[in-house]
Amino acid sequence: MMAARETPILRGELRHDEPLARYTSWKVGGPARQFYRPADAEDLAVFLQQLSADEPLLWLGLGSNLLVRDGGFPGTVIALQGRLAEIEVAGEEIHCGAGASCAKVARSAARAGLTGAAFLAGIPGTMGGALAMNAGAFGGETWAHVVEVQTIDRRGRIRRRLPQDFQVAYRQVQGPPGEWFLSARLQLRRGDVEAEQARIRALLERRAATQPTGLPSGGSTFRNPPGDHAARLIEAAGLKGYRIGGAEVSPKHANFIINTGNATAADIEALISHVQAEVERRFGVRLAPEVHKVGVAQ
């Protein structure tokens, strides 16, 4: 008689009804029905294999560019902050896990004498999110440097993929369905360490001077329309400082919506809709959100 197969033991951290406001940069969002922090890629594969095929999944890094509604997420959140965060330099390439912060990748590359990744210092998220949306800042874009990525599907199968497996555009990436990023190899180039570190400092100073970096926000709210800037249109519509509940269009940078202290996700979503409607009414341009909205309303 054959012995029953034992279910592999999970080594990560599993929680239930975990408030997601703790993990989003807007500091809003209801609870996740299930919340898992994997120990590593192998542990993540085991966890995914144990989920039902129709379980809703949400992958969470630093929680920027993400609006979780007040009713929470009725599925499983895979939280990568502080996990899958390896960064290794080999020659003119840098290998980084999906949970590595973009800013840390920029600094690590600069210390290793590699140039081309300084723009990542201006992205307030992880590499997983940067890969998923082709994040960019100050003229640089993530996928301009990608040599290879590693993905995982909901059955826990890990694959290596090349850039030609993906359709990449401005703040958009389409790849094989049902796969998520685990890591990437980026191609950089040798250069002046001090100059690259000075470039990072200058980018961070520019970001602090022009964006509300000290306040809860989701990052840039809207994509720039072709040939224009979302912030210019929003400001021209007279919406800087406009509020709904505790959500406000930043007086410092019009393409940022900030939580003034007591905002709900509903306030933020209503303000996003209002800005879209006003800009379209005034200028005939429908702004496309850069923010990913998930979950259910309360």
Catalytic residue numbers, as ranges: 171, 220, 290
Show Cβ contacts of residue 37 under 8 Å, excluding neighbours closer than 6 positions. 12, 13, 79, 80, 81, 82, 83
166 token code pair: 């993906």
Distance CA 14, CA 79 (A): 10
CA distances from 35 to 32, 73, 213 (A): 6, 10, 27
3 token code pair: 């012995």
Cβ(298)–Cβ(30) under 8 Å?
yes
17 φψ region: left (φ > 0), alpha (ψ -120 to 50), beta (else):
left
Distance CA 191, CA 189 (A): 6
Show Cβ contacts of residue 238 under 8 Å, excluding neighbours closer than 6 positions. none
Residue 94 pairs in a beta bridge with: 89, 186
Distance CA 154, CA 286 (A): 34
Place of tokens 């590699």: 114
**Dmax over Cα atoms in the chain, in whole Å?**
76
The identity of residue 100, as a single letter, is: A
222 token code pair: 């809207």
